[in-house]
Amino acid sequence: MNEIVDLRSDTVTKPTPAMRRAMAEAEVGDDVYREDPTVNRLQDHAAEIFGREAALFVPSGTMGNQAAIKVHTRHGQEVIAEQRAHIYNYEMAMTAAFSGCLVRPIWAEDGILSWDLISREVRGRSDHRARTGLISLENTSNLAGGSVYEPEATDEICDRAHERGLPVHLDGARIFNAAAALGKSVAELTGKFDSVMFCLSKGLSAPVGSMLVGSKEFFEEARLIRKMLGGGMRQAGVLAAAGMLALEEGPRQLPIDHANARFLAQALAEIPGIAINPSKVVTNILFFDVSATGLAAGEVSARLATQGILANAVSGTSIRMVTHRDVNRAGCERAIQALRGAVGARQKAIVT
């Protein structure tokens, strides 16, 4: 049996051999006492790369986002986000459960909000309606197919929100993918946000961990919330050591992942019954619609799995593929071949 080609997510990347070595050799201490030298180095390095005062190591992207939301809001407020936002769709309703806030979802083409769309939904003090406490953006936008915000758009949203006294958080789980797609630095893309969460554990290939970046004051508050959530880790240097390599070496891989995603999209567009617009694939995520094959997305996904190709059905008609370090061009070619087979088998069955 051929090796598995796992296109379910970039979260599936395994630590590189260099990461394993760095983890084994990491100098450690108790990070709840702020005494883990490797965690401290990672936090300082992340803050420096983003051009900000401080960065906090957290176990997951979800914890990072939810800690930030908690710091910025009060119970009974609203958080504005795009309709497909991860904080709205995937984080176990924690914005409600933990921060006591309602997400006010706004639909935007390609998941990319503008101040024009947001400003219509911002609520000030009122006797009737919940006040807006926070705006949260996502770059790249996962469920919108890895789409990217131009820095002019996010800068404008931040400037206008700040004029109205509103903080803006960035779910930048894949901000390094956005930076690679735009040929800009992460600092250029995120400088105006009040807080930024980014993941070491996705395309950057670390086994565990995300970072929360912002001011020193934000860092101190977020650190308390991290402890409330049970995220105070002890000798976390073994993880931070891998995170350090993820930051230093991970971004170099991303243009390769993006080229593979484009390659996949262009080939999938040629398969009868598959609908995808390759020109929208600008980073490492792609969605395609299988309605016209007559098969449910779950059935297509199950057929692919029998060929060792893993890709998640995200609805009855749509499948997501995500490229990353552990899938090379040959793996993409196998995925295309398997999809042709999965769909072709059904088309023959209809004819007979």
Residues found near ligand TLP in the complex (CB under 6 A) = 9, 11, 60-62, 65, 86, 90, 138, 142, 171, 173, 199, 201, 210
- If phi over 0 gives left and psi between -120 and 50 gives alpha, with beta otherwise, what is residue 134? beta
Q: Which residue lies nearer to ligand TLP by CB, 142 or 253?
A: 142
- The distance of closest approach from Cβ of residue 39 to ligand TLP in the complex, given in angstroms and rounded to an integer, is 17
Least spacing, CB of residue 280 vs ligand TLP, in Å: 17
User: Whole-angstrom Cα distance, residue 72 to residue 74?
Assistant: 7
* Cα separation, 83 vs 97, whole angstroms: 19
When the beta carbons of 157 and 178 are compared against ligand TLP, the nearer one is 178
Cβ-closest position to ligand TLP: 61
Closest approach of ligand TLP to the CB of residue 31, in Å: 18
Within 10 angstroms of residue 237's Cβ, the number of other Cβ atoms is 28
Rounded distance between C-alpha atoms, residue 255 and residue 244, angstroms? 20
Q: How far apart are CA 352 and CA 350, in angstroms?
A: 6
Q: Give the residue carrying structure tokens 């997305």.
A: 297
Q: Which CB, 167 or 203, lies closer to ligand TLP? A: 203
CA distance readout (Å), 40 to 35, 43, 48, 51: 8, 5, 12, 16
Specify the DSSP class assigned to residue 141.
B
Judged by beta carbon, residue 295 or residue 313, the one nearer ligand TLP is 313
Minimum Å distance from CB 153 to ligand TLP? 17
Minimal distance in Å, beta carbon 323 to ligand TLP? 12
Q: Which is nearer to ligand TLP, 9 or 260 (CB)?
A: 9
